[in-house]
Amino acid sequence: MIKLCRVDSRLVHGQTVFSWYPALKANAILVVSDEYAASKERIQALRIAKPADAKLVVKSVEDSIVALNGSAVDKYELIVVTGNVHDACEVARACPKITSVNLGGARPLGDSVKELGPAVRFPNPILMKLRKPWLMESSSR
């Protein structure tokens, strides 16, 4: 069961490990990132940061969509983390099991950025993606 789909540029870090993971009674974390999935060093760094009892899986966006639409993930209490809104939108659009996307920390990105909160900043084109009807319809998605 997908407990949370979160956008956070820090991926697996203190807030995920000490707040979200125990509060949601999760037992697995899926990191959705083409960049991280292609790097053994980055995967190893995430393994060091994860909770000791967590299963950690790092997959590309495409492989994550396949996995999330399969039945293998149903045996986990899963947190899905993406590093950016674009990847979250791709996964959420393709996976009916994702019913909402939680927006977390993001690095400052430049002048064309809208600050939504102390740690939530997105470029204006990304905000337009968030306004897509498929993501806003909470009753059907």
Dmax over CA atoms of the chain, in Å, equals: 44
13 given a catalytic annotation: yes
Question: Do residues 55 and 61 lie in contact, with contact meaning Cβ atoms separated by under 8 Å?
Answer: no
Dihedral pair phi/psi, residue 123, rounded to 5°: -70, 150
Give the single-character DSSP code of 17: I
C-alpha pair distances (Å), 75 with each of 27, 65, 128: 10, 17, 34
- Please give the Cα distance from 108 to 57 (Å, whole number): 27
- Report residue 56 as tokens: 């950690």
Catalytic residue among 3, 5, 11, 13: 13
CA distance linking residue 108 with residue 20, whole number of Å: 23
Residues 11/33, Cβ–Cβ less than 8 Å: yes
Catalytic residues: 13
